[in-house]
Structure 1
Amino acid sequence: MATLEAPTHENTMTPEKNKKGRRGGRDDGRLRTPAWLYAVMVAGLFLVVIPFIWMVVSSVKPNAELRQVPPTLLPEGITFSHYEALFTDLDFPQFFLNSAIVSLGTMVGNMIFCSMLGYALAKLQFPGRRIMFALVVGTLMVPGVVTFVPLFVLTTNLGLTNTLPAMILPFMAGPFGVFLMRQFILSIPDELIQAARVDGAGELRIFARVVLPLCGPALATLGVLTFLSSWNNFLWPLVVATSEDKYTLPVALALYAVGQNATDYGLLIAGAVVVVLPVLAVFLVLQRHIMQGVASTGIK
């Protein structure tokens, strides 16, 4: 007596269909990136990088070639006289030291005070907390130039004019830093803070021993952005500094390279290359932490 076999549910897909499915890129749970998206990203990268490459190449061109019309892409003659003038004619070590002190002081101040304010707005309960946070967010929409006159009057009354602290103290706690740290600290579980409070830790100890070690990505992001802003700041140091020994690099380059009758473009471009290098080095070292900080803050 013949027996009937039950149909098996094996894979009946033909090899052609299996091959087609593999080409579709969906069997591993990922989607293939369209080719046009790669083209757009490469074009955007080219637009971002080409000005920096042109600046580096132009820094070794003679002044006559820099003024040539149409401009040349590659230098016809290479000279390092602009860099020699930068380090010999200008008091470059003093200007560089001033910029480093101002930038590092501003960066450290923002990392400390913005973290403290962000922790208070994120995890502490006190009257007016929401109103204070709304004021911080509202301050982000106020142009910085609007506060220049009040800040200058305040620093003059305190006797800080023509000093490095006058370039650091007004920017030691920015609204963007407070907003960034507050949004990041919100993602820290409340159970960690409650456990520390049960163990008898005070708020300052909780902040220093529990919250701050978990804020590495956000602190790296805030530090690099603050350092970049302070290093490139030109208008406020120009207003506050009245003597050459207090000039920062952007102010010194603008005053010495741009004259009344002519502009030394070679010196200006060589100085721009030197000014960019420290910021670029800091970003390359901390780029992984910056991406983590921006991504985690945005998700929250």
Structure 2
Amino acid sequence: MTVAVEAPPRPGRAPARNGRRRPGSRTVVSASITYGLLVAIAAVYIFPFLISISTSFKTQADAAADPLALVPATFSTAAYERLFLNSDFPLWFQNSIVVTLAVTLGRVVLSSMAGYALARLPFRGRGAIYAGLVAVMAVPAVVLLIPRFLVINTLGIYDSYAGLVIPLLADAAGVFIMKNFFESIPPSVEEAARIDGAGTFRVFWSVVLPMARPALVTIVILAFQGSWNELSHFIVASQSQDLFTLTKGVAQLSSGALSQGTQYPLKLGAAIIMTIPVAVLFFVFQRRIMNASAGAVKG
């Protein structure tokens, strides 16, 4: 009968538990330094936002006396009351909601259909169209402002909701994202649907589009954020104060449209309200953006 004798642990090394090695001192130090740097970077980014929130609840005198205080000396909602009761801020907010929802819906529909056509449908000139799409993405947006104004004015939609919405519906980046995602879906899925008698649009709408949910969520967030924060297009597309959006109205507000002096609580309060819809949208859908690893065909 043979008896197995367990070898003693080597000197200088702690015995392993459950087959796992304990992290060495260098690993712990390296991880601590990394997390410390991440915390410091996060604090640099978060601190200005906390200052904005705090200042929006200060009085004008407190904001001027101690602008970097995180706790208001005198808590006041006067800035928000003035924004909603004594300014056109509610109208700006309404216009931004209308324009943003229309642009987001239009971009999702057009980008997904155009992306599918470039990825799957064979037609003459597809390569040239895709090359033109990539070229448009390389052109700075400011270069297109004057031609865009001329087109809007020629079509007779200047200073209207149509002028605010229609030029923003087409988005080269959205088409690019959707095309690449559709190309990652195995063609066998579509072939099986066609064997069952589905047409091209039915395959796109009922089979391929549900698989592209991560890309669609990405397009929704990018379209919402882009149209919500758009300013240059709204400047050249309208001049009526009834069509002011939040970006255009707050830009005018920052130049002293409602008051004399700095009025930091008023301006920062408007900026904080502007960030809420985009922040909520991102935190709601961020998991769906990251969950892009679902396969189309299961074995």
**TM-score, normalised with respect to structure 2:** 0.86
Q: Deviations over 1:131-162 (max 9, x none)?
A: 32222222221111111111111111111111
Mind listing any 5+ residue stretches in structure 1 that lack a counterpart? Answer: none
Residue 163 (structure 1) aligns with: 160
Residue 186 (structure 2) aligns with: 189
Q: Is the 8 A contact 2:111 2:174 kept in 1?
A: yes
Deviates more, 1:258-267 or 1:150-159: 258-267
Counterpart-to-counterpart distance in 1, 2:6 and 2:105: 62
Give the AA of the match of 2:197: G
Counterpart-to-counterpart distance in 1, 2:67 and 2:256: 24
Q: Deviations over 1:252-289 (max 9, x none)?
A: 12224423764432211111111111111111211111
Match of 2:108 among 90, 103, 111: 111
Residue 204 (structure 1) aligns with: 201
Counterpart-to-counterpart distance in 2, 1:92 and 1:17: 65
Match of 2:243 among 246, 249, 254: 246
Counterpart-to-counterpart distance in 1, 2:74 and 2:247: 27
Residue 55 (structure 1) aligns with: 52
Correspondence 1:140-151 to 2 at 5 A: 140-151=137-148
**TM-score, normalised with respect to structure 1:** 0.85
Counterpart-to-counterpart distance in 1, 2:122 and 2:187: 13
Residue 82 (structure 2) aligns with: 85
**Compared CA separation, residues 291 and 50, structure 1 to 2 (3 A):** farther
Counterpart-to-counterpart distance in 2, 1:37 and 1:120: 45
**Compared CA separation, residues 47 and 158, structure 1 to 2 (3 A):** same
Match of 1:223 among 213, 220, 223: 220
Deviates more, 1:194-203 or 1:222-231: 194-203
Mind listing any 5+ residue stretches in structure 2 that lack a counterpart? Answer: 295-299
1:76 aligns with 2:91: no
Q: Is the 8 A contact 1:217 1:292 kept in 2?
A: yes
Q: Is the 8 A contact 1:99 1:248 kept in 2?
A: yes
**Compared CA separation, residues 263 and 240, structure 1 to 2 (3 A):** farther
1:288 aligns with 2:287: yes
Counterpart-to-counterpart distance in 2, 1:214 and 1:221: 13
Q: Is the 8 A contact 1:123 1:186 kept in 2?
A: yes
Q: For this pair of structures, how many residues does the alignment match? A: 286
Q: Is the 8 A contact 1:155 1:166 kept in 2?
A: yes
Q: Deviations over 1:100-143 (max 9, x none)?
A: 01111111111111111111122222333333222222222111
Matched-pair identity in %: 35
Match of 1:23 among 21, 24, 43: 21
1:98 aligns with 2:95: yes
Counterpart-to-counterpart distance in 1, 2:271 and 2:188: 49
Q: Is the 8 A contact 1:62 1:77 kept in 2?
A: yes
Give the AA of the match of 2:255: V
Counterpart-to-counterpart distance in 2, 1:174 and 1:135: 13
- Secondary structure of 2:291's counterpart equals helix
- Secondary structure of 1:19's counterpart equals coil
How much does 1:18 deviate?
4.0
Q: Is the 8 A contact 2:51 2:68 kept in 1?
A: no
Counterpart-to-counterpart distance in 2, 1:222 and 1:11: 60
Counterpart-to-counterpart distance in 1, 2:190 and 2:44: 46
1:276 aligns with 2:278: no
Counterpart-to-counterpart distance in 2, 1:277 and 1:253: 15
Residue 37 (structure 1) aligns with: 34
Counterpart-to-counterpart distance in 1, 2:7 and 2:190: 57
Match of 1:128 among 116, 125, 128: 125
Q: Is the 8 A contact 2:137 2:172 kept in 1?
A: yes
Match of 2:231 among 234, 238, 242: 234
